[in-house]
Amino acid sequence: MSAVEQVREALTNGLAEADLPGLVAAARLPNGETVEVSVGVRGVDNPAPLTTDTLFWMASCTKALTSVAALQLVEDGRVGLDDPVGRWLPQLAAPKVLKGFDAAEKPILETATQPITLRRLLTHTSGFAYAFCSTPLTRYYAAAGEAAAQGVAPDPVLVFEPGQGWQYGIGIDWAGKLIEAVSGESFDAYMRRRVFAPLGMDDSGFFLNDDQRARLASMHARTPDGSLAPMPFGMPPEPYFGMGGGGLYSNPSQYLRFLDSMLGRGPQLLKTAHLEALCASTIEGAEIGVLKSIQANTSNTFDPFPDAAKAWTLGFLANLAPGPNGRAAGSLAWAGLSNCYYWIDRASGAAGVMCAQFLPFADPRALAAFGAFERAVYAA
């Protein structure tokens, strides 16, 4: 059986077992071969076949690209990893830390004593969080009102002192804002010029034209009975900020070009020293990369390597022991809220990305399909 046939079989079986309308995946095999496969249709409300040029909301798969863009500015000498970013982003010069709540459920806020740096933004050690995996932040939003929840409050709120913990959050959205402030360009324009264009990712971006919108996969929500229902969804149009933490539209074929670059294939976005810095472990622990969801309609609890030591680099999650489906220790990975997943195995030269389009994140059956896809890549 050819590599394409093995991957197609894995996706087709995963599609049926997860009761999904469609899946698209692309991979770089250890032997250097490229595999791109699409199965199923664009949505339960759209019977058009999925194709390899169908576009997906990539959600947090955006983060690694933004991290690379930030490191380009470090490489250019325009910002330092350990520079306080309040120099360019006044809102982050003296952020508030949520210390608790009083008897009336009013938030207790104190000015942070440690600076927010670019390194802390990229490694999720800045104190920023997402509400779907932070009970304190959810309580804060309930008390502070809608403006705070939408991120337009005058004082961004942290859930711990910068540098004093790991919490998945909006830090890389702020890294995108830093890229704008340092470069003098809009985030979207910078990414097109210095990331997407060099890689040939000409069908990827933060704002869709009419042709791209016509090629979107439908977004879905998993219902209580396990089936999928279509749900309205779309990132805000221009001139809204492009969201370095989760605003990208792309597809596996396009995204594989980025994964290839991280493998050292094709155009390189960073010089060797900064590429190695991007991929090196910065903070380790069994809790790293674990999302403890408190919003079941948004995400399931996610532990990509249960009970195993993991690390966060400046752009990725790293597994410190070999993975169960083939990837070597030290491989890099992450995912997107819409059930998009990828990995990069620099030891073997393999990489892969698989996209679905539904909530909640970390769907067990979608993860099983991704595992089968990974095994097929290494078996090919």
- 168 as an active site residue: the answer is yes
Is residue 133 within 8 Å of residue 294, measured between CB atoms? yes
Q: Which of 32, 33, 10 is nearest to 24 (CA)?
A: 10
Tell me whether residue 86 is exposed, middle or buried, using C-beta atoms within 10 angstroms of its C-beta: 0 to 12, 13 to 18, 19 or more.
middle
Active-site residue, selected from the candidate residues 140, 141, 168, 255: 168
- 60 as an active site residue: the answer is yes
Active-site residue, selected from the candidate residues 38, 63, 130, 338: 63
Structure tokens at 155: 């004082």
Active-site residue, selected from the candidate residues 60, 67, 126, 338: 60
Q: Give the integer Cα–Cα distance in Å for 107 and 101.
A: 4
- 177 as an active site residue: the answer is no
Q: Which of 57, 59, 60, 52 is nearest to 24 (CA)?
A: 52
Q: Which of 284, 288, 285, 321 is nearest to 303 (CA)?
A: 288
Catalytic positions, written as ranges: 60, 63, 168
